[in-house]
Amino acid sequence: MNDNGPRVRIRLKFARLAAARNLSHLEQIKALRNLVIASGLRYSPVKCGRGRAPRMAFGPAISVGYESRCEYADLYLAEFAGDEEVRQKIKAVSSECYELIAAKRVPIFFPSIEASVNAAEYIIKAGFPAGFSQKEVDSFLARPDAFYEKVKPSGARETIDVKPLVLCAQYDPAAAALAAPFPGDLPQGTPHGGFPCVRGPEAFDTAPAHVLKLVLKFEPKKNVKPEIVLNMIARADINRIVRKELYWFDSKGRLEVF
């Protein structure tokens, strides 16, 4: 391997499939690195324990139990390779856990994924109480605050106001099931304050499902899981959670797809 520094940086976008939803974030990192190793690409190495691994940088951590259509990883290559070559080589070794969606070259010194992402969209498939409707969601959105007590692994407790983190919430009792390719339902350039959630058919399995769509803002030490927000709106039996898309704020404070 070439130790003189990377020549190319490729931004990869993966789908985290149902078979991978019980993997931790660290297990996911290992799995994605193994895909790169198996692909035969000439990666730039980095020390990892007693050995070496592909130099990669990853997006926001994902919780155990979630699926996703927007798992990002920046791959640093020791030799030049075009987007299509990278795409073909990684797709050739894709597993039942991860599917490559896109591969695009970005500048070596481009801002990191995690530093660039400001919000995420989630789709929650669940069994909602009888009579539940958008009215209950709107009632939650109209609240001035919504406090949640977060218990850290150390046992320390912290109270967070969840309300400012909820940028959008929409209940869809007639949505089709969640499957690729997840056509985007948040228009580019929509202001993040009070923007409309677009209603429309989407894929969620093979049968109609009751779903709640949430767009949640990322803030240092104040992130909240979508199931927490759901439970503050209604008690529901969750069947599936999919992280559908990541967003960043432009200079005017508008949401843009990452």
Domain-wise residue ranges, the chain: 8-114, 117-257
- C-alpha closest to that of 219 among 183, 154, 167, 153: 167
Task: List Cα–Cα distances, 221 to 5, 145, 158, 159, in angstroms.
Answer: 33, 18, 10, 11
Is residue 97 scored above 80 in pLDDT? yes
Tell me the one-letter amino acid at 144.
Answer: P
Question: Could you tell me if 185 and 202 are in contact, meaning their C-beta atoms sit under 8 angstroms apart?
Answer: yes
User: How far is the first Cα of the chain from the last one, in angstroms, to the nearest whole number?
Assistant: 31
For the residues 112-137, what does the mean pLDDT come to?
A: 95
pLDDT of 115 strictly over 80 = yes
Average the pLDDT over each of 61-75, 85-99, 167-181, 187-201 and give the range with the smallest value. 187-201
pLDDT tens, residue by residue, 6-51: 999 999 999 999 999 999 999 999 999 999 999 999 999 999 888 8
Do the Cβ atoms of 101 and 14 come closer than 8 Å? yes
- Average pLDDT on 138-156 reads 92
pLDDT at 254 over 60: yes
**Who wins on pLDDT, 122 or 180?**
122
Mean pLDDT of the chain: 87
pLDDT of residue 3: 54
| pLDDT over threshold 50, residue 215 | yes
Asked if residues 224 and 216 have their Cβ atoms less than 8 Å apart, the reply is: yes
Return the HEC string of the chain. Answer: CCCCCCCEEEEEEEEECHHHCCCCHHHHHHHHHHHHHHHCCCECEEEECCEEEECEEECCCCCCCCEEEEEEEEEEECCCCCHHHHHHHHHCCCCCCEEEEEEEEECCCCCCHHHHCCEEEEEEEEECCCCCCHHHHHHHHCCCCCEEEEECCCCCEEEEECHHHEEEEEEEEEECCECCCCCCCCCCCEECCCCCCCCCCCCECCCCEEEEEEEEECCCCCCCCHHHHHHHHCCCEEEEEEEEEEEEECCCCEEEEC
Q: What percent of the chain has pLDDT over 90?
A: 75
**Least confident residue range of 124-138, 178-192, 227-241:** 178-192
Which architecture, in CATH terms, is 8-114? 2-Layer Sandwich (3.30)
- In this predicted structure, the answer to whether residue 73 has a pLDDT above a threshold of 80 is yes
Q: Mean per-residue pLDDT for 123-136?
A: 95
* Stated pTM of the model: 0.85
